[in-house]
Amino acid sequence: METLLALQSGFATSLSLGNLGAALTGAALGIVVGAIPGLGSVTGIALLLPLTFGMDPTTAVILLAALYYGCMFGGAYSAILLNIPGDAPAVMTALDGYPMAKRGEGGKALFSANIASFIGGTTGIVALSFMGPLLAEIGLMFGPPETAALILLALCSIGWMLGDNIAKGLMATMLGILLAVVGIGSTFGHARFTLGSMHLLNGVSFIPLVIGMFGFCQLLEMMTDRPKPGEGPKQIPLRAAIPSRRETLRLLPVSLRSGLIGTLVGILPGAGATTGAFLSYMVQRKIGRNGAEMGKGAVEGVAASEAGNNGAAAGSFAPLLSLGIPGSGTSAVLLGGLMMWGLQPGPLLFATRPDFVWGLVSSMYIGTVMAVIAAMLIIPFLMQILRIPISVLIPVIGTVCVFGAYSVNGSMFDVWLMLGFGVAAYYLKAADFPIAPLILAFVLTPRLESSIRRSFDISNGDPWIFVSSPISVTLVSVICALILMSVVGAGVSWMRKRAAQ
């Protein structure tokens, strides 16, 4: 009840003309920034932050928050249409979205992505408004051993990504791990495999890697195996692209569940929208009805990824607002913003500035609705991209790749890195090495390494720390069960085969 009253007064703040305008501007900008490969929410907010210096803090944060979740909508576009994830959380969207576009279902994938984004985001915002401080406390229960177990659980699902040739799949995974260890290791603070280059001190940047291995590799493939005349993307009228009521209903359970998972991941320290999308996708793959179809162009895959990253974006506001702890790279920039506007982020913010906190939370409801309407209106124009002849598309994609890689740090080094990864991925794919496990390993291992090292630092080398809390015991049991299940399953099918002979 108290929450409802607070929300009501929040709406009074957020419905002022200036704040409504801020939410709309932010959402629209976010969609554009998210859709441009290389410009993610972190860059977008960092670019806009200085302009908000003299603004009223509530208006400023409404603008930037709208940009944050707007990005999650826009990130899906280039992932689905060009196989270039617009930002890191959209990687999993590309896995199913691009095959759908190839089949001529690009429009449907776009609409589904945005519907799922909306449902997932709203789930996160509802959770934030009614349980924000509670969620933040739950996030605190995840220490290094719990985080390590959670990431290990996510890594378990690498098995089904490996493809037909397990050895090659594992080699790709190892390559991802190897790339991830480049840079200053967080545990000892020493530079590893930097080859004396200052640009590699912070490690290989994720965006050039992804743009290279997805986008630029895609371009090389388009150039080498041109479709015969008459083939190529099919043109679908807009009406056929809009999901039917039945199809929308099919998206509902996936989006709700993924939104919830995303929210929970978003509150964990340092996890963020990318991990949220990964985990939602994996859960969907394990328990969804057509899990086997995922990765080949299942609409559930698009929905799980998109709902997951929107949920996480909302969830990461819980620790930021109620404790002053940034839950992701983007909220770390926002934390700096709060200080710049003269606010004191911390546990007292809810009490000292309720107008600010509730104005922001209520604006998120309005902003998400605005974002989904704006996003839906853009889709018919985006679908025209599918009609562009391949000879025009190739130079466009090339430009987008170079621009995207450059814009992360404004450095040519990342462009060379992107080109190198693109060529490498082309040959890897030609030799049947899967790319998805490489990317997954690259994202998850740095966090896994530092969590394990920290756990050992805390326990003074005692491995029992990994089963010392109810959370970690549960997670480790689930991991063991998953491994046992697949071993037993393999054993049973082997026995059956023998019996049949």
Partner 1 sequence: MQVRMILAAAVAMGIGAQAQAWEPEGTVEFVVPYSAGGGSDVNARMLAETWRANDIVDANVVVLNKPGGSGAVGNTYAFSKTGNPNTLMTFIAGQMMSTISNDAAVKLENVTPLATLSVDTLVLVTRSADDFADFDALVAAASAEPNSITIGGVSRGSEDHLVFTMLSDSLDAELQYVPFDGGGDALSALLGGHVDAAIFNPSEIGQQVAAGRAHPLGAFSEERLSEPFDSTATFAELGYPGVAISLFRGYAGPPEMPAEAVAYWEEKLKAAYDTEMWQQDYIQDKGLVARFMGAEESAEFYAAEAEKYERLLKAAGFID
Contact footprint for partner 1 (CB under 8 A): 45-47, 49-50, 53, 139-144, 184, 186-189, 191, 198-199, 201-202, 269-270, 319, 323-326, 332-337, 339-340, 342, 344-348, 409-411, 450, 454, 457-458, 460
Query: What is the rounded distance in angstroms from the CA atom of residue 132 to the CA atom of residue 128?
Result: 4
Residue (222 or 467) nearer to partner 1, CB: 467
> Nearest to residue 251, comparing CAs of 109, 101, 72?
109
CA 258 to chain centre: 12
Query: What is the rounded distance in angstroms from the CA atom of residue 67 to the CA atom of residue 437?
Result: 30
Least Å distance, CB 202 to partner 1, is 5
DSSP 8-state code for residue 228: P
Count the alpha carbons within 13 Å of 401 in the hemisphere toward its beta carbon: 30
Residue (123 or 205) nearer to partner 1, CB: 205
Least Å distance, CB 148 to partner 1, is 12
Residue (220 or 264) nearer to partner 1, CB: 264
Least Å distance, CB 188 to partner 1, is 6
Residue (192 or 289) nearer to partner 1, CB: 192
Cβ(363)–Cβ(62) below 8 Å: yes
Residue (300 or 414) nearer to partner 1, CB: 414
Least Å distance, CB 258 to partner 1, is 24
Least Å distance, CB 107 to partner 1, is 36
Residue (255 or 472) nearer to partner 1, CB: 472
Count Cβ atoms below 10 Å from residue 182 Cβ, excluding itself.
19
Amino acid at 189: G
Least Å distance, CB 452 to partner 1, is 12
Least Å distance, CB 343 to partner 1, is 10
Cβ(215)–Cβ(84) below 8 Å: yes
Cβ(81)–Cβ(384) below 8 Å: no
DSSP lists the bridge partners of residue 184 as 191
Cβ(321)–Cβ(123) below 8 Å: no
Residue (105 or 414) nearer to partner 1, CB: 414
Cβ(211)–Cβ(418) below 8 Å: yes
